[in-house]
Amino acid sequence: MKLRYMKLQRIILLIMGFGFLTLGTNAQECGTEHTAEFMARLTKNVKYANENASARKVVEKRNVPLKFHLLATNEGNGRIPDHLVYTQLCRLNTQYDSMGFVFYVDDGFNYVNNTGIYDHIGSAQNQMGGIRAQYPNSVNVFITNATSSAGVAGYYSPFFDMLVVQKLNFDEVDNSTFGHELGHLLSLAHPHVGWEDDPYD
């Protein structure tokens, strides 16, 4: 089951719930770009949700498979420990519980020893895209040492349909980056879209 093709009546609930997921990840820390295609998908989903408001009254549980790709150097150094992934998975399920999503690890972790991907250099994103293609029925989450831009905690790539989260941010006790980026996968935009260049007052 492809997540993006799930019934879209839950989107309005996600929009209401996305506020608490954005508190820990500000615009400078999130590398997700709101392309025209991204915003068109959001508009379509909101329209569908508004036209099918009666379907939102009952929140049914929906299981969502996550495939975690745990990156390390070529020598196998630096990989995030498995137990931290489970900790953040529990946190994610708490964040999305009221919206009916139950996330689970799909068939164990994928351990990848590749310094280029681990440090997100060169063709790292294309290589991750190739790995992601092997797991088309899961939400693909790459835990890396670095992301493509300095200061970016994570991002969702619509082109490759995958999440990339920096392990430093994934390891935080009050982590909100993971849930925030997952919201982008569900076509939720930053609440400040259109206001990026206006100072907060």
Quick: pLDDT tens for 56-112.
555 678 899 999 999 999 999 999 999 999 999 998 998 888 878 899 999 999 999
What is the sign of the dihedral through the CA atoms of 90, 94, 96 and 97?
positive
* Count of C-beta atoms within a 10 Å radius of residue 113: 16
3-state secondary structure of 51: helix
The amino acid occupying position 67 is K
165-172: average pLDDT: 81
Query: What per-residue string of b and e applies to 53-82 under the rule 16 or more CB within 10 Å gives b?
Result: eeeeeeeeebebbbbbbbbbbeeeebbbee
Lowest mean pLDDT among 42-56, 61-75, 167-181: 42-56
Instruction: Check pLDDT > 60 for residue 196.
Output: no
**CA dist., res. 146 & res. 88, Å (int):** 18
3-state secondary structure of 9: helix
Q: Determine what percent of the chain is predicted with pLDDT higher than 90.
A: 38
What is each CA distance from 54 to 48, 51, 58, 71, in whole angstroms? 11, 8, 9, 43
User: Across 35-39, 50-54, 168-172, which has the greatest mean pLDDT?
Assistant: 168-172
- Per-chain mean pLDDT for the chain: 76
Q: In terms of pLDDT, which residue wins out, 106 or 176?
A: 106
Q: Determine what percent of the chain is predicted with pLDDT higher than 70.
A: 60
pTM of the model: 0.71
Instruction: Check pLDDT > 90 for residue 175.
Output: no
126-137: average pLDDT: 96
Instruction: Check pLDDT > 60 for residue 50.
Output: yes
Instruction: Check pLDDT > 50 for residue 141.
Output: yes
* Count of C-beta atoms within a 10 Å radius of residue 124: 22
Q: In terms of pLDDT, which residue wins out, 71 or 174?
A: 71
**CA dist., res. 164 & res. 124, Å (int):** 11
Grade residue 24 by pLDDT with cuts at 50, 70 and 90: very low
Tokens of 104: 């689970």
CA angle in degrees (0–180, nearest 5) for 114-26-193: 110
